[in-house]
Structures are given as structure tokens and as C-alpha cells.
Structure 1
Amino acid sequence: MTIDISQFFQVFFDEAEELLAEKERLLLAVDIASPDPEDLNAIFRTAHSIKGGSSTFGLNDMTEVTHFLESLLDRIRKGEMALTAEHVDAFLAAKDILKMQLDGHRNGAHVDQDAVANVRMMLQELSQDVVPVAAPPAPSFVQSAIKANVSTGGRRYRIEMPHVEQRDVNALTAELGLLGRVSVMPLPGERHAITVTTHESLEDIIAICSFVLNPDDLKIFEAPALTPEQQIIEDRERAKVEDDMGYGFFDPIDAPTQEQSEEERGYGFFQPIEHIRATAGIVAPAGNSAASAAPVQQVRAEPSETGEPAEKKAVAKKDDKHAAAESSSIRVSIEKVDQLINLIGELVITQAMIEQRSDALDPMVHERLLNSVSQLTRNTRDLQEAVMSIRMMPMDFVFSRFPRMVRDLAAKLGKKVDFITNGAATELDKGLIERIVDPLTHLVRNSIDHGIEMPEARAAAGKTEAGRLFLSAGHQGGNIVIEVSDDGAGLNRERILAKALQNGLPVNDNMSDADVWQLIFAPGFSTAETVTDVSGRGVGMDVVKRNIMAMGGSVDIRSAKGFGTTISISLPLTLAILDGMSIRCGEEVYILPLGFVVESLQPAPDDIKEISGRGPVIKVRGEYLPLIPLYQMFDITPRFTNPCEGIVVILESDGRKAGLFVDDLVGQQQVVVKNLESNYRKVTGISGATILGDGGVSLILDVTALMRSSRQLADDAIFS
């Protein structure tokens, strides 16, 4: 029987990526001068877990890197080496290599084998450069204890076990390996003895053994310290145990001979990895043929007497809380979530149709039916909110990407930066989460490169040498506001104006600061004196603004010279549902996103002016705004051509205001957004479509595009 394990590959890829992210977070937070043993153990466990998983699936290239990484981490966590900044840099570099290898196996991406070899060599050299450090004295648990040898990393305990199954020996060896060095040797009568070198207490060892054996059946005593020659022999035996026993989790597999059949090699149980990749349509990563050709290890989880795998019993103590957390959540593909959201959208539309048709019924005659419709409306709204919350993800998914980037970029530029985040639990739609990463990355890089000064300049200005960079998120009305702030030098108004004038942009000395700050979003604008690989080419900020505007958001800048800069991004919580205003023009009904609407009014004749060659404008409280006749934009026949007979809706986008001339206002409602481009084609001035309660299709206006296409807005003179 052949089991298709391709379905498990994605689970391993996802979990490995999470472990790598957790490893990076722990490394960036670790106190190098005085590391917390729990943090070191947690970092070690991430490497150990990736090593076990990659070995299971035959990803030998990842197994080799994590083996060197794990060995070095093991020495550090046992106090045999002092943690240094060089170690942290090496561990972060190894994390990058593992991520590259992971992407290679998942997507067939190129893997730089030279970079892999360099990191492996670096880890190996660091692990050989052992600098013994004094370990804290361990308390005496046995009255006749022999003095511990500090250089071996703690006390040595010998555990003699009765006859047990080999799988139980493997499981117990793996679990005790988390406490320190472990070696196994056979005893007469098919028994085994496990030697543990650890700083942990004897009670901890007994507690772990009790998951597999009765403590009364064990013989535990403290063993004398090893000589250096004996230590070398034990290290070799320990490495052999790891290889032969599948790192403590899997039964040993004999090396296949050429005469063995595929069934004998284990391929009758698991498919070869190259066959799995071919079935999944994943090509082997470039430059990684050796790893690609590795067979998948055979895994056999035999039930114990209680019907559970012995491995599960062995790790039960440490993983109780973790298992409880896992049992409260499940992995669901985003395609299934999107399908569910689409179905709920259809349900909302159907409910709106029922509600609209029931409005014509006599409430006295059909009271019970109308009550049922009202109940359906409430339940549908609650269901819609519950389903939409599934797509909501905390901003921590975005924020967690930046500590490493800030650390590396600050070191590259010779600056000191304290990175502070706030509001990481604030939730945003997954679609927006993915699209906001690149704009935020550019803003954070700009703050470090252009905003925060060099330590000497900050000290001369009376500031701390380390600049502070803030990244925060929070709700504001129906939007989420993300801010990138720094306490650096702030924007230089004179330099920006000079550069804008040099680029041919229309500027004058009477411009407000807010208008001057917006100039940095112009294409090709940069005040950097030199071009570097960090910035200075004048590309990026205009793309940042364009991407944010495409998400229905806006960008605002506040800056004070010498005190810092804050860039504020406002985004809708989701793109799937929209609060809109229904407007009518001729026989057509359109939806205006409510976030762009300032007010609506019916102008007086004296408020409408015509500017030669530029079209009409409307005067609103002393300010002249461009007037956009919607019927002209879409070439439809309106009911009114005189703005004084219709309605003008004042819109605001990107700091600009304009009046939209329509026939009538229909109402305000929440609509489910349907993608028009994927179902039809892209239409200028239209961002999507929705289905109304009467079953008709209504187009959603792209306010930003409409205002951009208006010829009056292209000329700043109209606002002077």
C-alpha cells in the first residue's frame, strides 16, 4: 500500500516557516550579555523541530544546515560557550539560508549553494572555537554525589532500564536529549542504559522517565566525570545514536542495497520525493539536485498498549499546553475562506431582495412573515460579520517582518535604532495585509536612511544616540490607521522645494507645509545627495502612494524639523464589503464609497461658475471646487443637465475636493463588492460592482480615478 504524503508537505512547509519566524523573533530579542536559558532552549527547539521534519521528508540539505546549527546551539544552551553577537549574526544567516532552501523545495526557487556552504562553514568554525565558561553550580541531589565536571556542562546521571521496546528507548532518548547530552549503551538481557549530562535536577529526569516507565523499575545514580578522551568517544556515540535512531523520533532504517526492491526500500509505504514533486507540479530547486533525489524516510508509528504511539506519551508532559492551543484552531486554505465569503455575499444579496419585496406587504396581514424577515436580516448580518472576521488577521503578521530589517539596515548604515511597535493585535483583512507589506517596508527604510541621524549628529543635537522608530496601528472609525514615526531630523522644506523646482513641479514659497510634504510622492522625486542600494533613485514613494490609493486608502504626512516625521496611512478594514451611497444618473444607479463623501447639496445658480476652457466650478463656503458631471464621464442621458436642478456630492480624495453632479440620491447601504475586472474587463472610473436588492447590478465608482481624470484637477491654478 502506497500512501500519498504530498498532502503533508504543505503542512511541513507552513510549520517550518512559522518556526523560522519564531526563531528570528527569539534571536532578535535575546539578551546577549545575559541570555535567558528558556530563550536559548526555545531557539534550540525551533532548529530541532525543523531538523526532524526535514529529515522525515528527505530534505537532506535542510537537515545538514540544521544539524550544524543545532550542535552550536546545544553547546551554548549548556553553558559550554558564551553567546556573542557573532553567534546571533550566524544564526540569523542560517535562518535566511533555511528560508531559501524551504522556498526552493516549495516553489522550485533557486538555491544559492555557495551561500549555503558559507553558512555551514561559519557554523562549523564557530562550534569548534569552544570557549568554556563557568556554569552555575548545580545543587546536590544525591548525598554521595561526585563533584561535577563543569567543562562537560553539568552532572552525569546513568539510568539503567528494564527490558522495553526499542521505540520507547528512542522516545525517552529524544525527550531526555532536551535536557542535555544523551548517550545510550546496551546491557545484558536486551536492556539499555542512558547516560544524561545535564544541569537539570534529578527530579526532572525522573518525571520524564515516568511517562514511559515505572520509576521504581529504574536504577539511577550519578556517574563520575569524563576525561577529555572519554568525552570525545561519548560525543561520537551520541552522534551515531542521532543518525541511527532518526534523531530520536523515528525507527532506524538500514541503508538500501542495489539488490533491494522498492518495496524493501520503504517506497511501498511512502512515495519517492521526486515523484511527489512531479505530481504536485513542483520542480526541484536549482542547484539542489542532491537534496531533491533523497528518498523519503520511512516512518512507522506503532500503537502502544494504550492505543497511542509511545512517542506521544513521551512528549505529553511538555506539550500539554501546546497541544491544547493547537486543538483550538485548524488550518484552512484561503480559497475555502474566499468561497465561504462569496456564498455569504450571495446570501446577503438574497436577503436584501426578500426584504425589499416584503416592504410592499401589508404589515397587519403579514405580520408573522415580516417578523421572520426581520429575524433573517439580523441573522444574516451577524453571519456576515462572523465570516468576515475569519479573513481578519492581526497586524503582527506585518510588524514581525521589520525587527530583523531594522537591525540589519541600521548596522549597515552605522546608525543606532530602537524599534517600537504598538497595536500589533489590531486586525486587518488578509488581502490588505499582503498588499500593505511593500509600502510599509519602503517607509520604514526611508525613516532609517533619511529620517534618523547618525549617532554623532544626534548627540550634537542633544538627542540620544539611538534613534527611535515607531510602527503603530489602530482603529479610527471604520478605517485602520497605520503610522510610521521617527524622532529624526524631519523633512527639510527648503530642500524639497528646491528639488521640486529643479524637477519642473509647480511650486511657490506660499505653499502650506502639508502641500510641500506631498511633493515627495511625485514620480522621480528624491532629495538624497548620493544614490545607494538603500535609496536615492527617486522610485518608491510614488509607488507607495499609488498602491495605498488603489486599496482605497490615503496617506498623510506630519513633520517638524529637528523633531521627526510621521507618515499616516488610512485603510478600509476590508475590501469585500463597502458602506456606500446609492446615486442615480439617468436610468443608472451607481454606488459611491461613503469614505470619500463629505456632504451633498443642491447649489444655487450664483454658486455655479464657468471657467473658459476648464469647465464648471462650484463655490462651497468660499472655496471653488471643480464640478464633475457624471453623465459626461460615462456618456449617458441624464434627467438634469443644470446642477441647480440636481444634486452635487462633495468628494475628497488625496487632499483634493471636487463636486460630483448627479440626478438624485437613492440611499445609503452596505454592499458586497464583486470584482468587475475578473468577470468582465477593467472599466475606467469603476472599481467594482454589486447586486442590489431588486436584483439589478450597480457599478461602484472609483472616486480617485474620476477626480484624476477631471481636467480641472490637473491644473493647480484653480485652487489659488
Structure 2
Amino acid sequence: MSIDFKQFYQVFFEESYEGLDIMEQGLLEISKVGITDSELINTIFRAAHSIKGGSATLGFSEMVSFTHVLETLLDEVREGNRELTAEAIDLLLQSCDALREMVRSLEQEQPIDTTTSQPLLVAFEELLTDHVAPTDGETTADVGALSNQANALEETFFGSDGAMLSTDRDAEINTETDSDIATDSAAACGRWLIDFKPQPQILLTGNEPLRIFRELETLGDLTVIADVTGVPEFDQLTVDECFISWRLLLASEADHDTIQEVFDWVLDECQLEIRRVNDVEAAAVQAPQPSQSAVTDVAEVIAAEEEPTEQLVGEVALAQVTAPVAASSAKDKTGSPSAPTKTPATPVKAEPTKGDAVAMTGGGSGPSIRVGIDKVDNLINLVGELVITQSMLSELGNNFDMEKLERLANGLEQLKQNTRELQESVMRIRMLPISFTFNRFPRMIRDLSIKTGKQVDLILSGEQTELDKTVMEQIGDPLVHLVRNAVDHGLELPDERLAAGKPETGSIRLNAEHKGGNIVIEITDDGRGLDPEKILNKAREKGIVAADQELSDAEIYELIFEPGFSTAAEVSDLSGRGVGMDVVRRNIKSLGGRIEIESHLGQGSTFRVHLPLTLAILDGQLVRVGREVFVIPLVAIVESLQIKTDLVNRVSGNMVLYRLRDDNVPIIPVYREFNIQADNTELENALLVVVEGDGCKIGLLVDDLLAQQQVVIKSLESNYKRVDGISGATILGDGSVALILDIPGLIKNAARPRKRVHSSRAA
């Protein structure tokens, strides 16, 4: 039965993106601190290895060959044979970008374009070739590894002349002479026999036996014997499973615990036995003979020229068998392990963290989300509580009488509580830490710093603040614009900062926190700040503001969001085209959010973005106009009041203003906007709900205020059509439909007859 691997594509794409993010973050951290951290290198290597393994499984040969070169370079760094230079870090970061392009192409079912990856491959090969050649007995990975692996495999089972190895030949390879034993016995306190049988899935976790053997070599003299009797027929081979076990003979002064530490990261993925043996037992250790069928099958693999996918299968099988050859041959002529230029750190197995994420996919297709297991457990518990309550109510329904009325009321209250908790729990499943968005900025800041010649320090805080997945996906691009502008417009060059009495390195701070029912994201820089006079003069030049019009600083800052507005002296690939900030505000508005600016000339600026936690549920105020019920988003309401006629002023264009302290608030009769019959069309003693959006206030004239409640938002556009002033609809408890008012849309409609309306409120 053949397996349709397409069902695994979406999971592979998502895990590849995550792996690339891990690689990028690790490389940036190493670049920042300037120290090659062994744990970070292991993490980066495992991410690259997982991408390579998944690519091989699914037959994406271009990704396999590309990641193989990355893996080779990283492996040399892991083993201490190479320093991770700035040049290598730049290449690896560019490779992350190239791999992302490959994954996107595969995701869109497009052929992979090697325009970007091919020059990188050449650069990697040059870097690897220029490296100092390994000492005698050491091996390095070849870029064209398949042919070399095949040759090594052939020599494992056959002599150099192609003849089958004899028992004497096996004894020569896998056992030591009496003189060798005597020499080692004088140098070492003991001999250890290690039987190591990994589980087939060990390769899926990024663990490779070869690297364990190399670590053992640092402890003493190692002999590696492979048992290939478990290798199945070729047509039963799978590319990501290990079928080989090993018997290891180690002459070392190390104790049992020290040896076992080398295997700590794979203890739960193998059968392991470590015991001390004497010299006679050590000399008697022989390699198990491979079966004739196994040898024949492998020989056929070497000789056959198959399709690319089958070559990948062969490559994995060959790598499994050649591992012991590489490990045992890594001794110098004296029989002792070659000392690496830098002692590699003991591999550390990553421990699972609390609330480990699990992938939730729609049958292997479509977008998915990772959910902490604690959230899933909580959801299951709530469903259990709901089932219990439902059973209790069903029981009460049998032969119901008035004596059960109190129990029925209690059961319904319990049902209400369970339903509310279940709703909140389901919503939390969609909540993800905003670190998923913040993680893109260290790389961007590094690239911008190089491009602009500015020294920038990025400070992130509040990364674990949770936000709805849909909101997070849509806020990414606006945040990119704001951070890019903070670097390009906000921060000064190092010499300018020194002249202003500031440190050479400027800082960009990203912070996220919950406030009320919203999330607030702040982008703060310690740069030059916004110049109100310069902005106002530019706006007057463009005719956005009249020459005699006076604006407060807050109103002047709002001008930078006008389409086509820019104060940049030169147009660059970063900014100056007047495109971007208007899109930022429009995208934030579409999410039901708003943006505020706080700036001090010469000290810096803060852009503060307010967003709802989710787009699926809304806290709203129900209002009645005639027989219709509308929902006003609670976050937009400033206050509700009864109109006093002495504070009402009429201006030209039939606009009615209400004097609210320092503001002149336009009054918008809801019944007139939607052409419905209202109970009261007079202003005297009428109810006014003052709302705010886009930095402006309006008063909505309504007949009555009803309850406040959470409502589930339903799209009106997808179920009917777009209606100006309406953002969606919801179904109330009595089954009726209530329309949700779009406050920014109503403000826009109110301002439409005039070219521009400015609030007269103080800054």
C-alpha cells in the first residue's frame, strides 16, 4: 500500500518555518554576543537537520541538497573544527531566506527557483574548500556525499578489489592484536563494552549515532562494530529510520556515569548496556556478520541508477552504514583519537517545556495552530462539566413539577457558567504569544543597521502577551513599517548622536501588554523625535492644511498618516516615497484598533497601537432605535448622557454640534443614517452616546440604552453585502439579529459633506 505524502505537506511547511525561525534567532544571538555557544550551535544544527530529514522524506531534493551543505558547515563548528565567523553567519542567514523562498514555492505548488540558492551553494563550497584540510584519519562531509558514501559502504562489505571480506579481514578490522591490548592496558584503567541499539525513529529527533561516537572518542580509544543484520530488504527501507545497532569497545579512564552522560540525550530512544570487560573479553569481541541477502541488496543499491527520490532513500541507508566506518577511522596512526582543534561540548537533549505545543491541522491541509496541552486539557474538563450539567437538566425534564423549579433554575445558572467558561477556553486556544510576531525584528534590525550605518539595540519585552492568531497575522506588516521608520527616520547616525550628547548606539524598544480588554503594543525610539513645525510646513506645502490653520501638536502628528505625506529629504529603498504610514493606520483601523503618537523633539517618539484581543467576540453596548437594536463596541464609547439643549449649536450644512467640555461633538441621529423610524426625533432630553474613533468624537442619538454583553461577530459582507456604517452582525439571546455599528465608518460618513473637519479640543 503506497502512502500519499501530500497529506503531510502542510505540517512540513509549518515545521520548516518554525525551524528556520529557530536557526535565525540562534545565529543572531551568536552574532550579537560574539561567542559561539555550543548549545545554540546544537539547536541550529538540529533545526537544519530536521528540515533536511523532512525534505528527504517528502522527496524535495533541492532542499535536501541545499540543507546538506548547511549541515556540513554547522557540523564542523559543532565538532570544534571550525570557528563560526561573521562571513559564515551572513551566509547562513541568507540561506534561511533562501530556504523560506523554497518552502513558499512548494506551498504554492510552484517549481523551486534556484536563482537565490545556487550562488549561496557556490559560496558555501568555497568556504568549505578554503578550510584547512583535516588531519590524517579525520573525515569531513563531502558536498557530493552520495558517491563517497557508496564507496565507503562498498569497502565495508567488500575488499578494495571488490571481493567479499573474509573472517580474517573482519578480525583485522574489528579486533585488536595482543600487543595493541597490552599497550592500551598500560595506558587506560579499564575497558568498557557498550551495546547500543537505537530505536528506528532516533533520526527524526535530529540525533545521529556518528556524533555520539565522536564524543566517546574524546574519552579514550574507541572501536566501533556495526550490526547490519536488522537492515530490511531495499523495498522496505524508509528514509528516516535507523536499522543498525552497534557494539562499542572503549578503552578509557572514564567511569560508568561519565560514559553514560554521552548517551543522556538519547536514553529514551535506545537500548543501552554499558559494562566493564577484561582484556581477554575485549579481544574476543567480533563483529556480527551481515547476511548474504543484506549484502546483495546494498550492492544493488550502489550499482543502480534510480530516480532522485530513490537516490535519497539510498543516501540515508548508506549514511547509516558508513557511520561506524567514519567513527572507527577517526584515529590517527598510533591508534589514539585525533585531538580536535577545539573540544566539542557534550550534546544536550532539549527538555520539553511546560505546556508543550501540539500541532492541530485540518487533515494535513489548510492553516493550523499550535496549542499548549494545558489548554486542551482545560477544554476537555469544561466539556465534561457541560455534559454533567446537561445530564442533570435532562433528568429534571422527566416528570417535571413545580417542586423542581429551584433545581431547574440552579441547573440553568450552572449551564450559563459552563457555557461562558467553555467560550473563553475556546477563545484562548486561538491566543498565541506575540513573540511569534516580535521574533522577526532582530533580523530586520540587524539588516537595517548594516544598510543605514546606524548602531541599533533592539529591546523586546512582553513577548508572552497573548493575542488572537488572526489579529497577530494582520498586525505584522504595520509593525514592520513602524519599526523600519523608527530606524530610518527616528534614530540618528552615530556622529549625530555623539554631538547631541547621546550614546552612539540608539535603542528601539518593542513592548506588549494587556490593558483592559485590549492589547497595547508600543514602539519607542530614543532618536530625534518628531518636529511639529517641520511637519506642519510640509503639510501646508502639500495643501493638506490651510496656511492660516493652527493645529495642536497631537493633530500635527496625525498628519504623518495622510496618504503621500513624507518629510524625508531623499527617497531611498527604506522610505521617503510617502507610502506606508497611511496603510499602517488603515490596517490597524480594519482590526478595530487605533494608533497614538507621543513625541519629544530631540528625545524620541513612541507609537502606541491599541488592538482588540480577538476579532471573533466583542464587548458591546446594546442600544435601541425604534424597534431596531444596535451594538456599539464598548471600547469606542466615551460616555453616555442626556442632551441639554443649551449646549446644542447648529452650524452650516445642517450639522448639529454638542458642547462637551472642551469638545464640539457632531450629533449623528442613528435613525437618519439607516432610514428607520425612531421613537424620538427631537434633541430635547434625548439620549446621546459619545463615541471615539480615528482621533475624532461623535455623538450617536438613540432612543434607549439596553444591556452590556459579549456578542459573537458574524460577517455581514460574506453573508449579505457591505453596508456603510455597519461592521458586522450578531444574534441575540431571543434569536433576533442586531447590527454592530462601525464607528470609524460613521465618522467618515459624517465628515463626507465637508472637505475636512477638525476637532477644536485641546491637545
Look up the match of 1:20: 20
Look up the match of 2:56: 55
Look up the match of 2:115: 114
Secondary structure of the equivalent of 1:483?
strand
C-alpha displacement at 1:613, in angstroms? 1.8
Structure 1 residue identity aligned to 2:495: E
Look up the match of 1:11: 11
* Structure 1 pair 326–299 and aligned structure 2 pair: CA distance change class (3 A): farther
Q: Is the 8 A contact 1:161 1:218 kept in 2?
A: no
Structure 1 residue identity aligned to 2:481: H
Look up the match of 1:719: 760
1:81 matched to 2:82? The reply is yes
How many Å separate the matches in 2 of 1:322 and 1:184? 31
Q: Is the 8 A contact 2:195 2:273 kept in 1?
A: no
Look up the match of 1:102: 103
C-alpha displacement at 1:121, in angstroms? 1.0
Look up the match of 2:631: 591
C-alpha displacement at 1:4, in angstroms? 2.2
Secondary structure of the equivalent of 1:177?
helix
How many Å separate the matches in 2 of 1:529 and 1:495? 12
How many Å separate the matches in 1 of 2:567 and 2:27? 35
Q: 1:382 aligns with which of 418, 421, 437?
A: 421
Q: Deviations over 1:201-237 (max 9, x none)?
A: 996555557844532388999xxxxxxxxxxxxxxxx
1:366 matched to 2:395? The reply is no
Secondary structure of the equivalent of 1:113?
coil
Q: Is the 8 A contact 1:168 1:212 kept in 2?
A: no
Q: Is the 8 A contact 1:80 1:131 kept in 2?
A: no
Q: Is the 8 A contact 1:176 1:196 kept in 2?
A: no
* Structure 1 pair 184–636 and aligned structure 2 pair: CA distance change class (3 A): farther
* Structure 1 pair 517–215 and aligned structure 2 pair: CA distance change class (3 A): same
Look up the match of 2:522: 483
Cα root mean square deviation, aligned: 4.4
For 1:285-304, list aligned pairs within 5 A.
297=313
Look up the match of 2:127: 126
Look up the match of 1:215: 274
Q: Deviations over 1:522-571 (max 9, x none)?
A: 01000111111111110110010011011111100011111111000001
Structure 1 residue identity aligned to 2:15: E
- Greater mean deviation of Cα atoms: 447-456 or 68-77: 68-77
How many Å separate the matches in 1 of 2:418 and 2:667? 42
Q: Deviations over 1:37-58 (max 9, x none)?
A: 2222222222222222222222
Look up the match of 2:241: none
Look up the match of 2:640: 600
Secondary structure of the equivalent of 2:470?
helix
Structure 1 residue identity aligned to 2:655: G
Q: 1:701 aligns with which of 725, 736, 741?
A: 741
Larger Rg: 2
Secondary structure of the equivalent of 1:494?
helix
Secondary structure of the equivalent of 2:275?
helix
C-alpha displacement at 1:125, in angstroms? 1.2
Q: Is the 8 A contact 1:69 1:91 kept in 2?
A: yes
Q: Deviations over 1:49-98 (max 9, x none)?
A: 22222222221211111111111112222222222111110110111111
Q: Is the 8 A contact 2:725 2:741 kept in 1?
A: yes
Q: Is the 8 A contact 1:82 1:132 kept in 2?
A: no
Matched residues, number: 616
Look up the match of 1:254: 301
How many Å separate the matches in 2 of 1:114 and 1:546? 35
How many Å separate the matches in 2 of 1:84 and 1:65? 20
Q: Give the unaligned 5+ runs of structure 2.
A: 136-180, 230-244, 281-293, 318-345, 371-375, 394-400
C-alpha displacement at 1:718, in angstroms? 6.7
Structure 2 residue identity aligned to 1:216: R
For 1:446-461, list aligned pairs within 5 A.
446-461=485-500
1:556 matched to 2:596? The reply is yes
Q: Is the 8 A contact 1:47 1:66 kept in 2?
A: yes
Secondary structure of the equivalent of 1:329?
strand
Q: Deviations over 1:453-510 (max 9, x none)?
A: 1111111111111110001100111110001111111112222111101110125574
* Structure 1 pair 509–677 and aligned structure 2 pair: CA distance change class (3 A): closer
C-alpha displacement at 1:131, in angstroms? 5.5
Secondary structure of the equivalent of 2:486?
helix
Q: 1:413 aligns with which of 449, 452, 455?
A: 452
Structure 1 residue identity aligned to 2:454: K
C-alpha displacement at 1:605, in angstroms? 2.2
Secondary structure of the equivalent of 2:614?
coil
1:29 matched to 2:25? The reply is no
How many Å separate the matches in 2 of 1:671 and 1:48? 47
How many Å separate the matches in 1 of 2:356 and 2:577? 50
Look up the match of 1:492: 531
Q: 1:513 aligns with which of 542, 553, 558?
A: 553
Look up the match of 1:661: 701
C-alpha displacement at 1:295, in angstroms? 7.4
Q: Is the 8 A contact 1:671 1:690 kept in 2?
A: yes
For 1:125-144, list aligned pairs within 5 A.
125-130=126-131
How many Å separate the matches in 2 of 1:605 and 1:676? 37
C-alpha displacement at 1:318, in angstroms? 7.8
TM-score if structure 1 supplies the norm length? 0.76
* Structure 1 pair 457–165 and aligned structure 2 pair: CA distance change class (3 A): closer
Look up the match of 1:618: 658
How many Å separate the matches in 1 of 2:82 and 2:130? 9
C-alpha displacement at 1:634, in angstroms? 0.8
How many Å separate the matches in 1 of 2:368 and 2:21? 25
C-alpha displacement at 1:8, in angstroms? 2.3
How many Å separate the matches in 2 of 1:448 and 1:196? 57
How many Å separate the matches in 2 of 1:571 and 1:40? 37
C-alpha displacement at 1:717, in angstroms? 5.9
For 1:135-534, list aligned pairs within 5 A.
174-177=208-211, 180=214, 211-216=270-275, 254=301, 257=304, 297=313, 322=351, 329-333=358-362, 366-506=405-545, 510-534=550-574
* Structure 1 pair 583–255 and aligned structure 2 pair: CA distance change class (3 A): farther
Q: Is the 8 A contact 2:192 2:274 kept in 1?
A: no
Q: Is the 8 A contact 1:603 1:648 kept in 2?
A: yes
Secondary structure of the equivalent of 1:556?
strand
1:537 matched to 2:577? The reply is yes
C-alpha displacement at 1:652, in angstroms? 1.1
Look up the match of 1:2: 2
Look up the match of 1:310: none
Secondary structure of the equivalent of 1:474?
strand
C-alpha displacement at 1:178, in angstroms? 5.2
How many Å separate the matches in 1 of 2:517 and 2:227? 73
Q: Deviations over 1:251-294 (max 9, x none)?
A: 99926858xxxxxx8xxxxxx9xxxxxxxxxxxxxxxxxx7x77
* Structure 1 pair 599–144 and aligned structure 2 pair: CA distance change class (3 A): farther
- Greater mean deviation of Cα atoms: 473-482 or 653-662: 653-662
C-alpha displacement at 1:396, in angstroms? 0.3
Percent of matched pairs sharing the same residue? 41
How many Å separate the matches in 2 of 1:594 and 1:164? 63
Look up the match of 2:43: 42
* Structure 1 pair 637–65 and aligned structure 2 pair: CA distance change class (3 A): same
C-alpha displacement at 1:412, in angstroms? 0.8
How many Å separate the matches in 2 of 1:69 and 1:627? 65
How many Å separate the matches in 1 of 2:724 and 2:26? 48
How many Å separate the matches in 2 of 1:161 and 1:365? 72
